[in-house]
Amino acid sequence: MKKILSLLFALYLLVPSGFGQDDEIMPKSLGISFFLNDFVTASRIRTTSLSSVLRNKSVAKFSEMTPGIAVNYYKGIKRHLDLAASLGGSFIRYPMPSKSFANNNFLLEANASVNFKLTSEKYWFQPYLTAGIGGHKYLGYYGAFMPLGAGFKINLFDEAYILASSTYRVPITTETANYHFQHSIGVLGRLTKKKEPVVIAPPPPPPPADRDGDGIIDTEDKCPDVKGLAKYQGCPVPDTDKDGINDEEDKCPTVAGLARYQGCPVPDTDKDGINDEEDKCPTVAGLARYQGCPVPDTDGDGINDEEDRCPKLKGTAANQGCPEIKPEDKKRVEVAAKNILFVTGKSTLQSKSFKGLNEVVAVMNENPDMLLAIDGHTDSDGSEEMNQKLSDGRAASVKAYLVSKGIDEARITATGHGELEPIATNKTAAGKQQNRRSELTLSYFK
């Protein structure tokens, strides 16, 4: 079953959500086909083998197959991809694995498939491989199957089609569906009008005798493909670097410049696009917003201030320019967080919490640039409004204790989340205990 579901998912991915119609994509078409359901050959193959059936010429005869008729709908998706759907019926004594029937009854089958064509619509013969999913109704029983096979389509002047296919139908519901072959042949007619051929407008008349449009006819123009002036016999004023200064007066005739530098560009020693007159760091490439100097690195840690979240503290690239928090400091704070206890239903700290919180104070004092985030959480007992208020109060109580021990309150944020972020189920006492928690997070940036 897992393999079947994987294949169906892959088929779904192959079908795009939209496409553009063109002459090589099959138009919408409707038709009819006649088919033969062959359960006998499929049974013989499964009880012996395909090679044995072929060697012994045990393929079912037409008299052992059940005929039927179907309505078919085709629609092109891409040049080499068609969507096909059919609805067919036949009278048969269905060999259902879990049931036995004495008489022929009506079998209604429907399926949708994707046909992978080897050629596009511009070829009259189009062989294809097909795969899809389908279902049937037989008496009061419903079944599902997956048709896999091959076929071909013959294009008749882009107006009609002859189609033939053979599919092996693999049951998905093995209790109500059985393996069998279905061989079909039919015709299709297109539902949309054939596109009219595109009329290509005649080419424009040839250009006038003045190809460059400078007012000087080509027979008198020494530069017929470049605009120029009459005094230069149709050629432009000599200015190789196109800076408006003619080559006779230009000290840099191949590089565009300014008149005040006699045709040479403004000097830019470090090649950073900021001329030396405006560049405060003329020998080091920089940026305009820093007046030609590189992006500063205030703390000298190799990470420039624009990318450094702690521009005044040396840090590491892995931590966005901030110092790495020591593992032992993280551990001390984590242990303290697990031992923060409150009076039941209140935001009053129990004295058992003070030892751990004093460890947090020590860590903050040892790292004067470090920040701390306090997040309070509750279980789901009581109303959501009450739990939000309780978590706000408990987070604030932890902050107040740390501030009372000399930690600057600007270094601490306290946030209550109520019952909205559980880490365990609230249906058990153990889960509720886990959800009633205070989280302490060290960082160097907000």
212 belongs to a structural domain: no
Report yes or no on 181 lying in a domain.
yes
For residues 230 and 236, the answer to whether their CB atoms sit within 8 Å is no
Task: Give the CATH number, domain containing residue 99.
Answer: 2.40.160.20
Q: Residues 24, 173: one domain?
A: yes
Distance of alpha carbon 409 from alpha carbon 386, whole angstroms: 26
Task: Determine, yes or no, domain membership for 400.
Answer: yes
Q: Are 145 and 169 in contact (CB under 8 A)?
A: yes
| Total number of domains in the chain | 2
pTM value surpassing 0.85: no
Q: Is residue 292 part of a domain?
A: no
Of 133, 165, 190, at which residue does a domain stop?
190
pLDDT tens, position by position, 186-220: 998 888 777 666 778 888 876 668 787 777 887 88
Among 158, 174, 190, the domain boundary falls at 190
Distance CA 286, CA 307 (A): 16
**If DSSP states are collapsed to H, E and C, what string results for the chain?**
CHHHHHHHHHHHHHCCCCCCCCCCCCCCEEEEEEEEEEHHHHHHHHHCCHHHHHHCCCCCCHHHCEEEEEEEEEEEEECCEEEEEEEEEEEECCCCCCCCCCCCEEEEEEEEEEEEECCCCCCCEEEEEEEEEEEEEECCEEEEEEEEEEEEEEEECCCEEEEEEEEEEEECCCCCCCCEEEEEEEEEEECCCCCCCCCCCCCCCCCCCCCCCCCCCHHHCCCCCCCCCHHHCCCCCCCCCCCCCCCCCCCCCCCCCCHHHCCCCCCCCCCCCCCCCCCCCCCCCCCHHHCCCCCCCCCCCCCCCCCCCCCCCCCCHHHCCCCCCCHHHHHHHHHHHHCCCECCCCCCECHHHHHHHHHHHHHHHHCCCCEEEEEEECCCCCCHHHHHHHHHHHHHHHHHHHHHCCCCHHHEEEEECCCCCCCCCCCCHHHHHHHCEEEEEEECCC
Per the CB < 8 A criterion, the answer to whether 146 and 10 are in contact is: no
Residue 197 pLDDT = 66
Q: What is the CATH number of the domain that holds 408?
A: 3.30.1330.60
Question: Does 205 map to a domain?
Answer: no
Residue 296: its pLDDT value, please? Answer: 85
Note the pLDDT of residue 310: 87
Amino acid of residue 245: I
The answer to whether residue 67 sits within a structural domain is yes
Boundary-marking domain end, from 190, 210, 235 = 190
The whole-number pLDDT of residue 22 equals 54
Mean pLDDT, each 10-residue run in order, the chain (446 residues): 46 38 76 91 85 84 90 89 91 89 90 90 88 92 92 85 91 90 90 75 76 79 81 79 83 85 82 80 82 80 81 84 90 94 93 94 94 95 94 95 96 95 93 93 87
What's the CA gap between 188 and 227, in Å, rounded? 62
Residue 429 is part of which domain span? 327-443
Return the pLDDT at 101.
86
Q: Let me know if residue 348 belongs to a domain.
A: yes
Asked whether residue 250 is domain-assigned, the answer is: no
